[in-house]
């Protein structure tokens, strides 16, 4: 895994720019759209004004005159708290000033943890060694605070949809059970719309959130300021609260699996999927209950399952097979690049369930027969220092999928990558696998309500 030594740049920038401030936020209805704007400042030298647009759809949204200004202020402020991390990290000033809204000491502690853990990959890949105590202080200037009174939510679920197999499985399960749900999409494209259409829903009847990165940040990135991964699923969580309020929904149903809890760098807490982890989910639930509202229930439906189990469920939902995409490189074009860890992992995890011909039809070729992907497979299977910094399964799941995939081929006709892997394992190759036991195992660490657990258990039969 390539790392860039930016530790000196990190310190030089922190000397040059002493603080970052969250100066203001605003929201208004402009014709048929909800428009949200933020004002951030980097030591008074650079201003960032990101804008969020949410088309207002009367068939699924609350009436405009029923929106509570205090509730909207609370929710919009919080989405700004997670938006600003993309701008703060360009310099990583030692002081963050929050001006437009009051927060308690406990809330400040939550946000420091989200920023530090959520930027673990960013710090690691930039070779920045900084402790949780010293990387940032947060000061809050606003002292007055009136706790907003949230209306009672009338039920129904909101499902964030990214276009991959996991959210497709969640939609498929809720659809099969006849439950009331709506999709939520950030910066929707053809893939997400096609996957939603495959459920039988009209993709136009969904919450669509358009985010714009302010051009000034893109300019600073081009000039060589610090850059890297931010916790996108944490952003989904807070936008999920806003979307749930706008549509009167009480449940925000995620599609994060148990595999998201594994560290990307073994022996550390650095996890590309931190904001998909059970740890973040627990902290977020507590934060929402204490400081926002008890009306919401945020949980991941797929948390009790492994990536292998999710792949098994997905294999039984053919309506999605030609529409879904999990490739970051090809996300804008709705394609599979066939060269990245996400492509290889997705192909591999589906291999025990779909025939090589079906998978080749989806991906354009058999990725397990591509020697150029050997290094990526070594990262996925745990024989290199780190896993790929992608949303992928555990190394154990990868190795199990490799063993199971071998059974889909004649012994003398194994794909190149599987044959190489088996040859490298030699006498260390694991014993025969009890496939049924693996597929029926349910992880007990989750927040899934009973009615949804029954739905999951029925599906796993």
Residue pLDDT, tens place only, 160-190: 999 999 999 999 999 999 999 999 999 999 9
Domain boundaries, the chain: 7-145+155-300, 325-430
End-to-end CA separation in angstroms for the chain: 40
Q: What is the arithmetic mean of pLDDT over 185-201? A: 94
Least-confidence region, from 148-162, 190-204, 290-304: 148-162
The pLDDT of residue 422 = 82
Residues 402, 24: Cα–Cα separation, whole Å? 51
The pLDDT of residue 74 = 96
pLDDT band, very low/low/confident/very high, at 356 (cuts 50, 70, 90): very high
Q: What is the arithmetic mean of pLDDT over 334-358? A: 94
The pLDDT of residue 329 = 80
pLDDT, tens digit, for every residue of 26-52?
A: 999 988 899 999 999 999 999 999 999
The token pair at 142 is 């606003």
Least-confidence region, from 132-141, 231-240, 429-438: 429-438
Q: What is the arithmetic mean of pLDDT over 133-137? A: 93
20 or 328: which leads in pLDDT: 20
For residue 381, list its beta bridge partners.
Answer: none
pLDDT, tens digit, for every residue of 61-85?
A: 998 888 999 999 999 999 999 999 9
* 237 touches 83 (CB < 8 A): no
Residues 5, 371: Cα–Cα separation, whole Å? 31
Q: Does the structure show a pLDDT above 90 at 376?
A: yes
267: left (phi over 0), alpha (psi -120 to 50) or beta: left
Q: Is 52 helix (H, G, I), strand (E, B) or coil?
A: strand
The pLDDT of residue 440 = 85
* 271 touches 392 (CB < 8 A): no
Q: Is 285 helix (H, G, I), strand (E, B) or coil?
A: helix
Q: Does the structure show a pLDDT above 90 at 292?
A: yes
The pLDDT of residue 338 = 93
What number of residues does the chain have? 461
332 or 288: which leads in pLDDT: 288
Mean pLDDT for the chain? 93
Residues 400, 172: Cα–Cα separation, whole Å? 25
Q: What is the arithmetic mean of pLDDT over 439-449? A: 91
The pLDDT of residue 64 = 83
pLDDT, tens digit, for every residue of 390-407?
A: 999 998 899 899 989 988
The pLDDT of residue 439 = 84
* 209 touches 55 (CB < 8 A): no
pLDDT, tens digit, for every residue of 244-261?
A: 999 999 999 999 999 899
The pLDDT of residue 424 = 79
Q: Quick one: what percent of the chain has pLDDT higher than 70? A: 98
Q: What is the arithmetic mean of pLDDT over 320-335? A: 86
């Amino acid at each position: 895994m390539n790392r860039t030594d930016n530790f000196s740049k990190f310190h030089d920038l922190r000397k040059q720019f002493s603080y970052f401030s969250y100066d203001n936020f605003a929201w208004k209805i402009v014709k048929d759209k909800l428009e949200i704007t933020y004002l951030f400042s980097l030591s008074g030298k650079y201003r960032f004004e990101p804008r969020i647009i949410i088309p207002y759809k009367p068939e699924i949204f609350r009436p405009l005159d029923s929106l509570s200004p205090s509730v909207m202020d609370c929710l919009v402020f919080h989405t700004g708290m997670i938006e600003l991390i993309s701008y703060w990290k360009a310099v990583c000033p030692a002081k963050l000033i929050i001006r437009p809204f009051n927060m308690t000491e406990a809330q400040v502690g939550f946000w420091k943890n989200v920023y530090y853990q959520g930027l673990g990959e960013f710090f690691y890949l930039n070779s920045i060694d900084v402790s949780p105590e010293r990387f940032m202080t947060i000061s809050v200037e606003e002292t007055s605070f009136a706790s907003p009174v949230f209306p009672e939510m009338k039920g129904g679920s909101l499902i964030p949809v990214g276009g991959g197999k996991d959210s497709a499985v969640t939609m498929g399960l809720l659809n099969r059970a006849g439950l009331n749900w709506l999709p939520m999409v950030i910066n929707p494209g053809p893939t997400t719309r096609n996957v939603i259409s495959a459920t039988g829903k009209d993709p136009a009847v969904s919450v669509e959130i358009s985010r714009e990165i302010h051009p000034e940040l893109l300019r600073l990135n081009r000039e060589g300021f610090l850059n890297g991964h931010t916790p996108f699923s944490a952003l989904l969580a807070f936008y999920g609260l806003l979307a749930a309020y706008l549509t009167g929904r009480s449940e925000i149903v995620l599609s994060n699996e148990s595999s998201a809890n594994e560290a990307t760098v073994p022996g550390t807490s650095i996890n590309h999927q931190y904001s998909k982890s059970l740890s973040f989910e627990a902290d977020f639930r507590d934060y929402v209950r204490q400081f926002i509202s008890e009306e919401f229930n945020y949980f991941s439906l797929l948390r009790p399952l492994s990536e292998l189990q999710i792949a098994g469920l997905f294999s039984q939902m053919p309506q999605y097979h030609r529409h879904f995409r999990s490739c970051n490189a090809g996300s804008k074009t709705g394609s599979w690049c066939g060269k990245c860890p996400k492509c290889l992992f997705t192909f591999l995890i589906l291999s025990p369930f779909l025939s090589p011909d079906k998978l080749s039809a989806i991906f354009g070729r058999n990725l397990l027969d591509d020697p150029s992907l050997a290094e990526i497979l070594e990262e996925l299977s745990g024989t290199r220092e780190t896993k790929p910094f992608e949303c992928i399964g555990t190394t154990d799941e990868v190795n199990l999928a490799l063993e199971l995939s071998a059974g889909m081929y004649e012994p003398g006709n194994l794909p190149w990558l599987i044959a190489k892997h088996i040859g490298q394992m030699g006498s260390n190759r694991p014993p025969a696998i009890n496939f049924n036991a693996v597929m029926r195992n349910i992880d007990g660490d989750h927040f899934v309500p009973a009615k949804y657990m029954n739905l999951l258990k029925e599906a796993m039969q």
